[in-house]
Amino acid sequence: MRADIITMAGKDNEDDDGDIGVALDVKPKTKRPPLYKVLILNDDFTPMEFVVMVLERFFSMTNAQAYDIMLTVHKKGVAVVGVFSHEIAETKVAQVMDYAQRHQHPLQCTMEKE
């Protein structure tokens, strides 16, 4: 939204007190959309290699990055694998869950507001 107030100086456009208007350019402040953390949760059945493959495939991690995250999930029970806009986070969670189910693994992936 843009608001422009322009008053031309002149006999017909002068206020009663003699002031002359000034052009203002007001720009609204926009808020950034909220971000969401995508989390991978540990389970006792999904192979570690599968988790590494999921991280490489859906989160564009290198093998070393994916291995480190997989170890964090294994040791701590959960790890943040990325922070995204709502739509992207939702898509990533759906992709991981669908892929895990198709390969008959109980891997869980969730999202929460940052």
Phi, psi of 45 (to 5 degrees): -120, -35
Query: Is the predicted pLDDT of residue 50 greater than 80, yes or no?
Result: yes
Could you tell me the pTM of the whole model? 0.74
Encode pLDDT of 66-92 as tens digits: 999 999 999 999 999 999 999 999 999
Angle between helices 48-59 and 86-102 (to 10 degrees): 140
Query: Could you tell me which of 91, 83, 84, 54 has the C-alpha nearest to residue 70?
Result: 54
User: Where is 110: in which H helix or E strand?
Assistant: strand 108-113
Read off the tokens for 57.
């495939």
Residues 49-56, mean pLDDT to the nearest whole number: 98
Query: From CA 61, how far away is CA 64, in angstroms rounded?
Result: 8
